[in-house]
Every structure is written in structure tokens, then in C-alpha cells.
Amino acid sequence: MSNLLKKEELARALWDLAELVDRLRGPDGCPWDAKQTAGSIKMYLLEESYEVVDAIERGSAEDVCQELGDLLFQIVFLARLAAEKREYDLVAVIEKITHKMVRRHPHVFGEANLKNAEEVAVHWAAIKRKERESTSKVQVSLPSGIPKDLPALLAAHRLSERLSKTKKKPNGRKVVGSRVSERCAELGQACHDQDPGAVGEMLGTLLFDLADLARHWGLNAEHLLRKANRTFSEREAEAELR
């Protein structure tokens, strides 16, 4: 165990949180918590996830710690709901992710020899494909495993990332950059022709290509747009105070 964590303290803290959730769901617990289902809780899970991201972007360690706790509570709560239905419990959740991470890091826990982060990413994708194919009779398609409710720019990032790992010679920055330039020209023509349908189609394609271009530069379009939105909001707020 790392010196950063003490086994007894971690076990106690996690146990205390699980017991708290048990109490909330128990006969003498909270009426509101007792009424919740996985369907009603899922939106809170999503909101808490975004609040963690927001806290990370603000660079506040205290806020990140607080928001991670809120997110962890939702996870423990959902595991409790499943345990009540005898589907799985918190122990199963933790054990499954531990086993999965061991399986997907053969270069750490096995004998695989991977030289750098790029090789690790390619090997990781191959392991995921094998896992999915072993649990399905149907050949796994490209979008499989990408949540349908993922923000669109982030989904584009993941789709292009996955596609790049299936090619023997993935497109480089120069190729993707040229494609973006071509899309911009096509969009300009569609605007000149005053064709709303073509403008919409070109905008969508351009956004996807821009997300791919950001990925090639080690960036993430979702994060970039969030940052731009925040900057714009801050400037507008400052302008209102003048």
C-alpha cells in the first residue's frame, strides 16, 4: 500500500460511507432517499461528474476534494440500490474494476513489454476489443462502448481516437489539418449558396474534424470549448460591471 494512504483509514472511511447510505435507505432513514431509484439518481451522477470537471478546471484542490466526495456518494448509493435487488454490491463494483485494471495493464502486472504511452494506448484498445468480442456473438462496431449521452465534442474525440487505433497508418496532423481547411472552404461555399441544409451538414462535419485535429495536438475539443465558454462568460461579466 502506498504511503499516501493507510489501509485501515481507507477501509474505515469507505465503510462509514456505505453504512451512512444504508442508514439513509433504512426503515428509519430519509424519506427522500428511500424513494430514489437508479433512474432518478442517474442525472445527479451526471451533474456531480461535471462539477468535478469544473472544479478541476478552476484549479481548486479543496473544491475538487469536495466534488469527488459528492460523486463517490452517488456511486455508493447506486451500488446500494443494486444490492437491494441482489444484482451486485459495492464490493463487486470495486473488485471488478480492480480486476479489469490488472488485466488491461499487462506491462505492469504481467510480462508484456510496452515502450511508451502510445504503445500502451494501442494495446489497451486491443484488449478492450477482445473483451467485448468475447461477450458478444456479433462483431463489435466502431461506436460500441461510447456512451450515447456523452457530450458531442467528447464523443467525436473518442470516435476518432478509436478509429485511429484500427488503422495501420493513422492520419497525421498534416492530413487532418488539410481536411479542416477543405471543410472550411466547403462551408464557405454553402454559406455563399445560402443553403441551410448544406451549411448544417458542413458545420457538423467541420466540428468533427476540428475535434480530431485537437486530438492530434494532444488536446481535447470538449475541454477547449469549455475553456472558451468560461473565458467568454468572464469577459461578459466584467463588461457588465463597467
Handedness of CA 47, 53, 54, 59 (dihedral sign): positive
Report if residue 239 sits inside a domain: no
Q: What is the pLDDT of residues 207-241, one digit of tens each?
A: 999 999 999 998 989 889 988 988 898 888 888 77
Range of 22's domain? 7-95
Does the pLDDT of residue 152 top 50, yes or no?
yes
- Each residue of 160-185: pLDDT tens digit? 888 887 776 677 889 999 999 999 99
Please indicate, yes or no, if residue 85 is contained in any of the structural domains: yes
**What's the confidence (pLDDT) of residue 125?**
79
More confident residue, 172 or 63: 63
What distance in Å separates the CA atoms of residue 101 and residue 109, rounded to the nearest whole number?
9
Q: Which three cell numbers stand for residue 26?
A: 433504512
Signed CA dihedral, 225, 235, 200, 177: sign only: negative
Instruction: Give me the sign of the Cα torsion angle 62, 68, 69, 71.
Output: positive
Cα dihedral across residues 211, 216, 222, 228: positive or negative: negative
Q: Is residue 192 part of a domain?
A: yes
Check if the beta carbon of residue 34 is closer than 8 Å to that of residue 25.
yes
Regarding whether 108 and 90 lie in a shared domain, the answer is no
Residue 238 lies in a domain: no
Are the beta carbons of 221 and 157 closer than 8 angstroms? yes
Check residue 214 and give its pLDDT.
94
Task: State the pTM of this model.
Answer: 0.67
Provide the pLDDT confidence category of residue 46 given band limits of 50, 70 and 90: confident
Q: Is 117 in the same domain as 77?
A: no
Q: Is the pLDDT at 86 greater than 80, yes or no? A: yes
